[in-house]
Amino acid sequence: MVGTSRTSKKAMGLSLARPALVVVLSLGLAGCTHEGAPTQAEPAAVQTTHTAVASSTAKPALSGETVRDSFGNADFYTTVPGDTLSAVAAAYKLSEAKVAGFNGLQPGAPLTPGTRLRLIPDGPMPGARGAATVDANGVPTAYTIEPDDSLAAITYRFNLTDEQLAEANKVAFTYEKGNVYFIRAGQVIQLQKKPVDSRSGSGASVNNSFGQTVFYTTGEGDSFDSLGYKFRFTTDQLLRWNPTLTAGQPIPVGTKVRLMPGDVTIDGSHGTFTTDADGIPLTYTTATGDTERQIAFRFGVPEIADLESANRPLTGTDRVWYDFADLPSGELAPGQTISLNLTKPIHQ
């Protein structure tokens, strides 16, 4: 219920930390509840196929073949005459003991030419005991999370960084944030990117006042996957927010793609809003059950703190002027018109 005192349920100093804004991975999941928006910069361009390449790209001293994943990480190496375990380990910045352990060998053991050495752990391990699928080259492509798995163990087992794992799953990050977990038992996560056209990503972007891209006009080579990896949204999300797009069909060049729910109401944000001439949200009128986190996500506001910055009080020490129906959950009182634009704040 909304309190009778305006100040009793305001964010009085808001000394309690608010849940940070997050993105919920929607691999195969239905529903419209999401808690974040991608803010991390896209990694530098990397190899997007799993073909074997000459290992000279990693270390000139070796002349065997290396199998790399979609991010360019080395997963396997095939030995040639003269190779030693220590030389292979050094070439890939691993200890000899690790490479030996990955392959059931003893440190210092001689190598037979043509031996395919693993450069990643072999099979389940503490913190990453789930089953993985692999491609024809043996590169892991997907993984089913088990209870007690950890992000650190999963990334170690599959030779990935946190950022690479996030990109493969089209989310901004993979660590816990705002009491929402990427690592959840039973969830199948992707370990690799699919190949995308090298021409993709050259279209025009429209950013809101917080620097978040909320619209993108497609160019040559753009696809659901290329947009997903660049802006960290799943194909299901893009289809839900852009009803003119069709699953399994190319996105026509020149299509203006919405990168936020916007007109699509979501759980925790059912109110009405206004926009400027470019479609960038300006104000929002709250409805019953609305929360800061979901309002921010619906309109491409990167963090709750950004939403609060556009709605500072003119006096006092509160961080925001608007009222809460339930402060711990961030639920706002209905019927308030708040700013969604940092350059046109509402301060009162």
Structure confidence at residue 177 (pLDDT): 64
Task: Give a yes or no: residue 170 inside a domain.
Answer: yes
The DSSP secondary structure of 51-118, one letter per residue, reads -EEEGGGT-TT--SEEEE-TTS-EEEEE--TT--HHHHHHHTT--HHHHHHHTT--TT----TT-EEE
Q: How many domains does the chain have?
A: 2
How many residues make up the chain in this entry?
348
Contacts of 309 (CB under 8 A, 6+ apart): 342, 345
> 10 pLDDT band (50/70/90 cuts)?
low
Q: Are residues 140 and 182 in the same domain?
A: yes
Q: Are residues 63 and 105 in the same domain?
A: yes
Task: Give a yes or no: residue 137 inside a domain.
Answer: yes
CA distance 284 to 250: 34
Burial tier of 103 (Cβ tally within 10 Å: 0-12, 13-18, 19+)? middle
For residue 143, give its domain range: 132-190
Nearest to 78 by CA among 114, 108, 118, 121: 114
pLDDT digits (tens, 9 = 90+) for 269-328: 999 999 999 999 999 999 999 999 999 999 999 999 999 999 999 999 999 999 999 999
CA distance 170 to 44: 15
DSSP class of 333: P
pLDDT digits (tens, 9 = 90+) for 123-148: 899 999 999 999 999 999 999 999 99
Task: Give a yes or no: residue 209 inside a domain.
Answer: no
Task: Give a yes or no: residue 91 inside a domain.
Answer: yes
Task: Give a yes or no: residue 271 inside a domain.
Answer: no
Instruction: Write phi, then psi, for 101 (nearest 5 degrees).
Output: -65, -40
Mean pLDDT of all residues in 221-233: 96
Local structure of 155: helix, strand or coil: helix
DSSP class of 264: S
Query: Which of residues 148, 165, 190 is at a domain's end?
Result: 190
**In the structure encoding, which two tokens stand for residue 74, read together?**
């080395």
Q: Are residues 106 and 152 in the same domain?
A: no
Residue 47 has pLDDT above 60, yes or no: no
CA distance 100 to 107: 6
Beta bridge partners of 339: 283
> 59 pLDDT band (50/70/90 cuts)?
very low
**In the structure encoding, which two tokens stand for residue 130, read together?**
């789930």
Q: Are residues 145 and 186 in the same domain?
A: yes
Local structure of 144: helix, strand or coil: strand
DSSP class of 344: S
**In the structure encoding, which two tokens stand for residue 54, read together?**
């000459």
- End-to-end, the C-alpha distance of the chain in Å comes to 23
Structure confidence at residue 227 (pLDDT): 97
Task: Give a yes or no: residue 171 inside a domain.
Answer: yes
Mean pLDDT of all residues in 85-107: 96
Q: How far is CA 211 from the centre of its chain?
A: 17
Structure confidence at residue 238 (pLDDT): 97
Nearest to 82 by CA among 102, 54, 122, 110: 110
Write the single-letter amino acid at 336. Q
Residue 167: give its domain's CATH number. Answer: 3.10.350.10
Residue 245 has pLDDT above 60, yes or no: yes
